[in-house]
C-alpha cells in the first residue's frame, strides 16, 4: 500500500515534463497510477488543465506513449492529466472478459457487489484526483475534459454533470448511449444493477436531453472505418439531441479512420486547440 504520492517516471518532453505517479486511493481502496504532463512552469505558472480518459483495456500509459500530444500541449501551455481506467490489484474484483472489471471501470460509481467496494471511478476523478491536481501541483486554473471510446463516454458524462467546472468537452469515438449498446448494458447491469432508471445519470444522451444551464461546447470525432461504429458507437444520437436543443456540439465524421491511437494521433492537436480556445 502506497500511502503517499510516489514518482515512478519523469521525462523531459518538448520544454515540459512527462511524469507518472503512484498513490493509494482512499476512494478506490487500492494503489493507483496516473500520468501528468506539465508545460514549462516558468512560462506557464498556472496552466489550464485538460483531462484525458482512456478506453477499455487501457492504462494511463496509452495516451502518453501513443497520442503524440505533448508537443502541442507544451506550445499551448496546457497541462494534461491521465488517470488509469479502473481500480487495480489482486484484492480488486475482476472478470475474465476484457470489457468488464479491471481495465473497464466505465467511470461510474458502482452500487452492486462485488464491484461497489472499489469501482468508484467517477468520485476518484471528480474529487480525489482533482484534489491531488490542485493541492499538490497547483493546477487551480480552468479545466476541460476529453477521452476515447469508454473514456469518451466518461468525458461526456463527467463534463455534462459538471458543466460549471469544465469549459469544454471532446471525444474520439465515444460510447454516447451506453444504456442501449452491448458494452454499456453489460457493464451497467454488473456495476449498477437491474434498475435501468439508475443508469440514466451515466448516459450522455439522457444527460444532454435533460441539460439546462451552462453549455460547455462539445467536439466529437468518429472514424467511418471504425469496426465498432454503428453497434457500440452511435454519436449521431447525441448530435441529434444537441441539434434539437441548439446545444453547441460539433460531430466530425473522419473518412476511413478506425478505433486506434493512429486515429487519435491524427486529430489530437485539433482537440487541444479546441480546448485552448475556451481555457
271 annotated active-site: no
- pLDDT-derived band at 4 (thresholds 50, 70, 90) equals confident
Sheet containing 6-13: give its strands across: 6-13, 16-25, 30-38, 79-83, 49-53, 143-148, 166-172, 218-223, 249-254
pLDDT band at 12 (very low <50, low <70, confident <90, very high): very high
| Averaged pLDDT, 146-153 | 98
Residue 140: Cβ-neighbour burial (10 angstroms; 0-12, 13-18, 19+): exposed
pLDDT of residue 2: 53
Q: Is 247 in a helix, a strand, or coil?
A: coil
139 secondary structure, DSSP code: -
Q: Under 8 Å CB-to-CB from 98, ≥6 apart: which residues?
A: 56, 57, 104
Count of the separate structural domains present in the chain: 1
CB 190 within 8 A of CB 223: no
The CATH number given to whatever domain includes residue 21 is 3.40.50.1820
- Of 148, 211, 259, 271, the catalytic one is 259
Give the pLDDT band (50/70/90) at residue 3.
low
Out of 60, 226, 271, 275, the active site residue is 226
Strand partners for 24: 31
Q: What is the mean pLDDT of residues 58-85?
A: 98
Mean pLDDT across 199-220: 96
Q: Which three cell numbers stand for residue 214?
A: 451552462
| pLDDT value of residue 41 | 85
- Per-residue pLDDT of 212-256, as tens digits, reads 999 999 999 999 999 999 999 999 999 999 999 999 999 999 999
CB contact burial 33-55 (16+ within 10 A = b; e otherwise): bbbbbbbeeeebeebbbbbbbbb
Contact by Cβ (8 Å): 34, 60? yes
Residue from 35, 144, 149, 168 carrying the catalytic annotation: 149
Q: Is 226 a catalytic residue?
A: yes
- Within 8 A by CB and 6+ apart from 201, the residues are 161, 207
- Show the domain range for 87: 5-277
Mean of pLDDT over the chain: 97
116-145 tens-digit pLDDT:
999 999 999 999 999 999 999 999 999 999
Following CA atoms 125, 129, 130, 134 in sequence, which dihedral angle do they give, to the nearest 10 degrees?
A: -170
| Omega prior to 80 cis, within 30 of 0 | no
What's the average model confidence in pLDDT over 56-85?
Answer: 98
Q: Which pLDDT score is estimated for 279?
A: 94
d(CA 110, CA 57): 18
22 C-beta neighbours (distance < 10 Å), count: 14
- Collapse the DSSP code of 26 into the 3-class scheme (helix H, G, I; strand E, B; otherwise coil) and give the result: coil
Span 258-270, average pLDDT: 98
Amino acid at each position: 500500500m502506497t500511502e503517499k504520492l510516489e514518482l515512478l517516471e519523469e521525462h523531459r518532453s518538448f520544454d515540459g515534463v512527462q511524469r507518472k505517479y503512484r498513490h493509494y486511493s482512499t476512494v478506490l481502496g487500492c494503489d493507483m497510477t496516473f500520468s501528468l504532463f506539465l508545460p514549462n512552469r516558468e512560462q506557464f505558472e498556472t496552466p489550464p488543465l485538460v483531462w484525458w480518459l482512456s478506453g477499455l483495456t487501457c492504462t494511463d500509459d496509452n495516451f502518453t506513449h501513443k497520442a503524440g500530444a505533448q508537443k502541442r500541449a507544451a506550445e499551448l501551455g496546457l497541462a494534461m492529466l491521465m488517470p488509469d481506467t479502473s481500480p487495480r490489484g489482486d484484492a480488486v474484483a475482476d472478470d475474465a472478459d476484457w470489457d468488464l472489471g479491471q481495465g473497464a471501470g466505465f467511470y461510474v460509481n458502482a452500487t452492486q457487489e462485488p464491484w461497489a467496494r472499489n469501482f468508484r471511478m467517477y468520485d476518484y476523478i471528480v474529487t480525489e484526483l482533482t484534489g491531488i491536481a490542485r493541492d499538490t501541483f497547483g493546477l487551480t486554473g480552468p479545466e476541460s475534459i476529453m477521452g476515447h471510446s469508454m473514456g469518451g463516454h466518461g468525458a461526456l458524462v463527467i463534463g455534462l454533470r459538471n458543466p460549471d467546472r469544465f469549459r469544454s468537452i471532446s471525444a474520439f469515438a465515444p460510447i454516447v448511449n451506453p444504456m442501449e449498446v452491448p458494452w454499456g448494458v453489460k457493464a451497467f447491469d454488473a456495476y449498477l444493477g437491474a434498475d435501468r432508471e439508475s443508469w440514466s445519470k451515466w448516459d450522455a444522451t439522457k444527460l444532454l436531453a435533460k441539460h439546462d444551464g451552462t453549455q460547455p461546447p462539445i467536439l466529437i470525432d468518429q472514424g467511418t472505418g471504425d469496426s465498432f461504429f454503428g453497434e457500440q458507437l452511435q454519436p449521431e444520437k447525441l448530435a441529434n439531441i444537441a441539434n434539437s436543443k441548439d446545444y453547441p456540439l460539433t460531430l466530425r465524421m473522419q473518412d476511413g479512420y478506425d478505433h486506434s491511437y493512429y486515429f487519435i494521433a491524427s486529430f489530437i492537436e485539433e482537440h487541444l486547440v479546441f480546448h485552448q480556445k475556451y481555457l
